[in-house]
Structure 1
Amino acid sequence: MRNTCHLLEFLSQVEPKKVDETLNDENWVQAMQEELNQFERSKVWELVPRPKDHPIIGTKWVFWNKMDKEGIVVRNQTRLVAQGYSQEEDDVG
């Protein structure tokens, strides 16, 4: 239990609303980096140069605190999500 308490001291207790609020907090930056690393490990996306003749799909960071049964923050969670209104369905066969 003592080690758990020490680990919890390093988690952000506040859920930011905007990415600007996270950039000075190493806990949220680390959570964002873990999300990007997961994309790389899963090979679900590839960063490419911006095309001149195609629209860009925007993204947004979503932040929340994962809590245990007692309501104690146990992990800072992030997701990088596509802004769905700009996506187009691909005609596949």
Structure 2
Amino acid sequence: MTKIIFFLGQECNHCHVMFPLVDRLEKEHQDMEIQRLEVWHHPENVETMKQYREAIKKEYGEEGLPTPTFINLDTGKALVGETSYEDLEAWAMGK
């Protein structure tokens, strides 16, 4: 089972664009488990996000903890920012 963490901000407009895409990904891929962690109002989730700082920096290109950010626990890779469903799906499947 593919495990993904979706770090989001409750008021983040880019995150809101991604919500239906993440829901669709879960629906179409029953073998994926996506954990949603809100980081703007939950400091404990920020601490979890910091564990993936190097993967985020590699994708994002600079220091920071941007939202939305996805971490694929199987590949260790990050996906940062708003993207298309097709790109999200390909990334989630390790392509």
Structure number with the bigger relative contact order (C-alpha 8 A, sep ≥ 6) is: 2
TM-score by length of 1: 0.29
More helix as a share of residues: 2
TM-score by length of 2: 0.28
